[in-house]
Chain A
Amino acid sequence: MPTATDSPRHEHLVIERLVFWYFAAALGYMLISMVAGIIMGLQLLSWNPLPALEHLSPGRWRMVHTNAIAYGFLANGFLGMLHWVVPRLSLRPVLDKRLSYFIFAAWQIVVLSTAVGLILGEAQGLEWGETPVWIDPLAQVGLLLVAFDFGYPIIKVKGPMYVTLWYFLAALVWTFLTYAMGNFIPQYCVSGSAAGAVGGLFIHDLVGLFVTPLGWGMMYYFVPILLKRPMWSHGLSLVGFWGLAFFYPLQGIHHFLYTPIPMFLQYGAVLSTIALEFVVLTVIINFVGTLRGTGMACLSNLPLRYFYTGITFYFLTCLQCALQTTMTFQALIHFTDWVVGHAHMVMFGVFSMWQLGMMVYLVPRLLKTEWYSEKWCYWHYWASAGGLCVMAGDLILGGLFQGWSWAALQPWEKSIEVSIPFWAVRIAAGAVMFWAQLLFAYNLFKTWQKSPLRTGEETLPHVAPATM
């Protein structure tokens, strides 16, 4: 691990402007995704506001909703975060700053082209990989460039690496391979159940090998800094990393229980899912152990509050995962809204909360000024976390009612009738979450407006790490 004493300064390492651009783009896509989600929610209540427009039909909006959150919000947020964290940890800048600007522009073109392709009905037949086939090669090259840009400073590190860099290095390789596996193998190489099996691997590996390592790597960096103490145990951190590396890749088949895929593969996925829960437990213990002796820091410090809320949701989702992959439980919840609730808890409750918390921490440092309204940041936290609790709880409960309805062999219409109240609550919770993100985006805009970077003040103040 290098030392900072004879290394470049922060301003030579981090392209702060680019980090901010990524965050602004991420929030833009988050709002687009949530508009699409709300329209889809209204459709379920038979209140589709765009009934006569084929290009804006619910099936297409739904894909815009999922793709905008994965490739628009999360990917942009993570790329911004990587531009801050990797150079500071490795004490080396990225491979080439011009390449970084090019990647930013290229990635926005990829995401916008995906949205246009989906609305024009050119989706690829792969869940979470609906990116039109003509965009796939571009996205693949983009991911390769990302791997070069951030991989270079990481592999230059001499000596033992901090766990965050292990996670990031793995994520750079995994994301490239996962994208290739999901978007090319079922499209061009295999078909039928084999393609289904690969599709299952892709869905889960996208969460586990792209989003998870970047998310946890981010937590292992920001939490010790905000708590002003190293992680409780770096050894346990490494157990978490290597456990993820060996157990995660086999899990994807658990999306296809009770299918023609051979039972030994299905049981393998069930076992590796349950085994991973033990690994997750070590990670949670480590983060709780790091809190020991800090009093109520995880409540009084707002970014930490976002982080630990996400960690709690992560534990809950993994526990849920270990339960719902058992064959008995799966028989009840398969195809129900339970799965939708679970997915929202993962993507919003965990990874979006982490990214939003990171933005709450970094934006004042990037813009060299405090937030325009700290109170609005608190409102954002409560509306986001509270809205998600209601939405996820509502969908999970509604999913159980749907499952019991089907198990009782009631007519399909009955399960719809049962679902209507749950879908109504879901749209109300979603509206609260959407309002929170609008408030956050407006707060960011007003903060940018008062930034000395924009007003052209000559002396820039140093904004210390957030403690609000």
Chain B
Amino acid sequence: MTTPTVIQRVPLWTWIVGAAVLIPSILGFANKFLDLMIVAAGDEEGAFALTPIINYLLATAGFFCMLMWAVTQGAFHDINQPSRQMFQNELDLERRTAESLGPRA
């Protein structure tokens, strides 16, 4: 017997908050990206600004790929599971160490 899949609806306020954050952010980013293009296409003295920008984009691109990889690996399915597991592992390690070394001095 299969259990029916429950699809949770995203609350309306989530969409509203998401839009309130994302729209100005995207507009701001586009505006600044345009600035960057103008500088890059402009005089030679201004083009040096590309160095830190490229540094940033390279670093961010790497971490964006890692984020996507984490998503595909299911890292965000049961988000508190690693925390509970780590805590349990520590308790087990402590218990085994105490057993192997004998009573406390």
Bound form: Cα–Cα A465–B86 in Å: 17
**CB pair A3 B88 closer than 8 Å:** yes
Does B56 count as interface, using CB distance less than 8 angstroms? yes
Q: Binary interface profile of A, 1-23, with partner B (CB < 8 Å = 1, else 0)?
A: 11111000111000000000000
Asked if B85 contacts A3 (CB within 8 A), the reply is yes
Chain B residues positioned under 8 Å from A237 (CB to CB)? 83
From residue A420, how far is it (CB to closest CB) to chain B in Å?
38
- A233 contacts the other chain (Cβ, under 8 Å)? yes
Given known contacts A160-B73, A190-B51, is B105 in contact with A1 (CB within 8 Å)? no
Contact yes or no, A234 B32, CB < 8 A: no
Q: List residues of chain B with CB within 8 A of the CB of A143.
A: none
CB neighbours (8 Å) of A370 from chain B are: 105
How many angstroms between the C-alpha atoms of A190 and B47 in the bound complex? 12
Residues on A with C-beta less than 8 A from B49 are 194, 197, 261-262, 264-265
B93 at the A interface (CB under 8 A): yes
Q: Which residues of A contact B55 (CB under 8 A)?
A: 181, 198, 201, 249
Chain B residues, CB < 8 A from A164: 86
B53: CB under 8 A from chain A?
yes
Chain A binder among B2-10, B11-19, B94-102: B94-102
Q: Mark A189-208, 1 if CB is under 8 A from B, else 0.
A: 01011100110110000000
Whether B81 and A1, one on each chain, are in contact in the complex, defined by CB atoms closer than 8 angstroms, is yes
B56–A249 CB distance below 8 A: yes
Q: Which residue of B lies closest to A233 (CB)?
A: B80
Q: Check if B84 sits within 8 Å of A262, measured CB to CB.
A: no
With A162-B82, A201-B55, A235-B80 already in contact, the answer to whether A5 and B92 are too (CB < 8 A) is yes
- Complex: how many Å from CA A238 to CA B79? 9
Q: Would you call B75 an interface residue if the criterion is a C-beta within 8 Å of the partner chain's C-beta atoms?
A: yes
Residue in A3, A9, A201, A253 whose CB lies within 8 Å of B97: A9
B-side contacts of A170, CB under 8 Å: 63
- Tell me the smallest distance from the CB of A432 to a CB of chain B, in Å: 34
Give the number of residue pairs across the A-B interface with Cβ within 8 Å: 153
Task: Please give, as numbers and ranges, the residues of chain A lying within 8 Å of B32 by CB-CB distance.
Answer: 264, 268
Q: Which of these, B48, B56, B80, B105, contacts A230 with CB under 8 Å? A: B80
Beyond A194-B51, A461-B103, whether A262 also contacts B93 by CB under 8 A is no
Which of chain A's residues have a CB closer than 8 A to the CB of B88? 3-4
Task: Kindly provide the distance from the CB of A277 to the nearest chain B CB, expressed in whole angstroms.
Answer: 16
Number of interface residues of A (CB under 8 A): 65
Minimal Cβ-Cβ distance residue in A for B85: A1
Q: Mark A215-252, 1 if CB is under 8 A from B, else 0.
A: 00000010011000111011101100010011001101
Knowing A198-B52, A233-B80, A234-B80, the reply to whether A369 touches B67 (Cβ < 8 A) is no
User: Are A230 and B79 in contact (CB-based, < 8 A)?
Assistant: no
Instruction: Tell me the complex Cα distance, A192–B49, Å.
Output: 11
Q: Which of A224, A261, A265 gathers the greatest number of chain B CB atoms within 10 Å?
A: A265
B100 vs chain A, min Cβ distance (A): 6
CB distance from A11 to the nearest CB of B (A): 7
Asked if B102 contacts A461 (CB within 8 A), the reply is yes
Q: Nearest-CB distance from B45 to chain A (Å)?
A: 8
* Closest A residue by C-beta to B39: A262
**Which of B59, B64, B67, B79 has the most CB atoms of chain A within a 10 A radius of its CB?**
B59
- The reply to whether A88 and B97 form a contact with Cβ atoms under 8 Å apart is no
A89 CA / B46 CA spacing, docked (Å): 48
Shortest A61–chain B CB gap in Å is: 31
Bound CA span A5–B93, Å: 9
Q: Are B67 and A242 in contact (CB under 8 A)?
A: yes
Contacts of A461 in B (CB 8 A): 101-105
A-B contact pairs, 24 of them (CB 8 A): A4-B90, A4-B96, A9-B100, A10-B96, A11-B100, A91-B89, A159-B82, A160-B73, A160-B77, A160-B82, A161-B75, A193-B48, A197-B48, A197-B52, A198-B52, A229-B87, A235-B80, A250-B52, A252-B52, A268-B32, A459-B102, A460-B101, A461-B105, A464-B104
Residues of B within 8 A of A (CB): 32, 35-36, 39, 46, 48-49, 51-53, 55-56, 59-60, 62-64, 66-67, 73-90, 92-94, 96-98, 100-105
19 other A-B residue contacts (CB within 8 Å) besides A1-B89, A192-B48: A1-B82, A4-B96, A9-B100, A159-B82, A160-B75, A161-B82, A162-B82, A163-B82, A181-B55, A224-B83, A224-B86, A225-B87, A249-B59, A250-B52, A262-B35, A262-B49, A459-B102, A461-B104, A462-B103
